[in-house]
């Protein structure tokens, strides 16, 4: 069967949300530690609600990136020149 992304994604999202709801219920019943031991993939569904918030770490991460760029400056500058 041929399908378009817009046709399939609602079903995939519904299945993922249903899995999360089921794992949340199981975690309330048996506790997260037991659930993760029984169903390791539940960890992917029950991540912290706050999330990873990469933007909060933006300054530190961009600082690290610029430090690495400085270390490789000579090599990077060489790669910018190429014949057309």
pLDDT digits (tens, 9 = 90+) for 4-61: 999 999 999 999 999 999 999 999 999 999 999 999 999 999 987 777 788 889 999 9
**Quick one: tokens of 69?**
């760029």
Residues 18 and 8: their CA atoms lie apart, in Å, by 16
Banded pLDDT at 67 (limits 50, 70, 90):
very high
Q: What is the pLDDT of residue 48?
A: 79
Please answer whether residues 73 and 80 qualify as being in contact, where contact means their C-beta atoms are separated by less than 8 angstroms.
no
Q: Which residues contact 69 (CB under 8 A, 6 or more apart)?
A: 76
Asked if residue 65 has pLDDT above 90, the reply is yes
Residue with structure tokens 């999202």? 13
Give the model's pLDDT for residue 66: 96
What pTM, to 2 d.p., does this model score? 0.57
Which residues have a Cβ under 8 Å from the Cβ of 16 and sit 6 or more positions away?
Answer: 45
Q: Are 62 and 55 in contact (CB under 8 A)?
A: no
């Amino acid at each position: 069967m041929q399908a378009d992304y817009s046709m399939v994604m609602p079903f995939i999202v519904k299945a993922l949300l249903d899995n999360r709801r089921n794992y949340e219920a199981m975690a309330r019943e048996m506790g997260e530690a037991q659930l993760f031991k029984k169903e390791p993939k539940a960890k992917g569904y029950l991540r912290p609600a706050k999330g990873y918030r990469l933007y909060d770490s933006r300054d530190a991460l961009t600082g690290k990136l610029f430090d690495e760029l400085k270390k490789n400056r000579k090599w990077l500058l060489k790669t910018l020149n190429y014949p057309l």
